[in-house]
Amino acid sequence: MPCSVSNFESGSNRYRPNVRIGNWFEDNCLELDKMVSFRKMRDRGELLVEKARTLFDNFQKEVQLAAPKHDITIGATIQLMPIYMNIQDMDTSELQPALSVVINEYAIRFCQTINEDCELTVAPSERPCVRNSFRIVSGDDQDRSGEKLKYGQRFRLECIAPSDDPILLYSAPKRNNLSQAINTTFNSSKYGEINLPLGLVHRSKVLCPDGDIPSAFTNWFCMHVDPCKRFESEGETVPSNAPLVIVHSATNRNLAAENVVTQTLFGPEFLVSVQNYRNVFKREIWKNVWMISNGHHTLAKHV
């Protein structure tokens, strides 16, 4: 008598619904372990969604800029904004871009405040906040709060937070092997050569004699936007909301807003570097033209 073969769609159809098959006990323990681990991380605030919420609260905290004045004073809280962004197929008239601090998706798991692992971009600025506001301090380690900033005078840009050990904005020349001294996620280039990036460093490391970063790398100074007036304007006060050129003292290169868009945790933003961009008349183009803003919009013409 031939044997008959029964067709079953799956092995589970051989048993009733209340019968457990396979490694059901191990699977149940694994789910319980996941739930216990989730609750512990939630209680300690280690969930990624909570870290992201804390990050946005810290970076987007509103900041009060300095009182509107005609001149820029040392110790004032300001914004560095490009006068004009000449981006093809993009209307930047209402963008209000400003130099901003951004954190990458890898560092968010370890720190939710501004730190040395953060990078710099040019981002839309609806209002002054912690990530797009800086404090001007003297470049000679002297307390010159309240004094007017002058063309050619060295100064430093200090992040608003943290306040116990301030973080300074700096750039550095290439090493002897032509590698970059600052590690960044994205880089821009000019004629095939990678531009010098921007970085952040604690002031305690700069002032330390054994520090890897000299204090000169954190110094900047302003020049008149018109090359024909730079000699006669040396020593004059720097006006607010006026076009100017910001130069890195150690490399003699200008702060530049690049026309390269990158995706960040805060949305699409533009890269920033330290590079000279001039036309055939040896005049800086729009990438090197900035203004020190105190919150009021400028009426400067496109450069």
217-243: per-residue pLDDT in tens? 999 999 999 999 999 999 999 999 999
The CATH topology of domain 60-293 is Trefoil (Acidic Fibroblast Growth Factor, subunit A) (2.80.10)
Range with the poorest average pLDDT among 63-72, 108-117, 289-298? 289-298
Q: What does the pLDDT read at residue 2?
A: 56
Q: How does residue 297 score in pLDDT terms, banded at 50, 70 and 90?
A: low
Does position 301 have pLDDT exceeding 50, yes or no?
no
Q: How does residue 299 score in pLDDT terms, banded at 50, 70 and 90?
A: very low
Does position 13 have pLDDT exceeding 70, yes or no?
no
Question: What is the average pLDDT across 248-253?
Answer: 96
Domain ranges of the chain: 60-293
Do the Cβ atoms of 129 and 110 come closer than 8 Å?
no
Tell me the per-residue pLDDT of 267-279, one tens digit each, with 9 for 90 and over: 999 999 999 999 9
User: Mean pLDDT for the chain?
Assistant: 87
Residues 171, 252: Cα–Cα separation, whole Å: 11
What is the distance, to the nearest Å, from the Cα of residue 202 to the centroid of all Cα atoms in its chain?
A: 15
Tell me the per-residue pLDDT of 25-34, one tens digit each, with 9 for 90 and over: 888 888 888 8
The pLDDT > 90 percentage for the chain reads: 56
Tell me the per-residue pLDDT of 174-201, one tens digit each, with 9 for 90 and over: 988 888 889 999 899 999 899 999 999 9
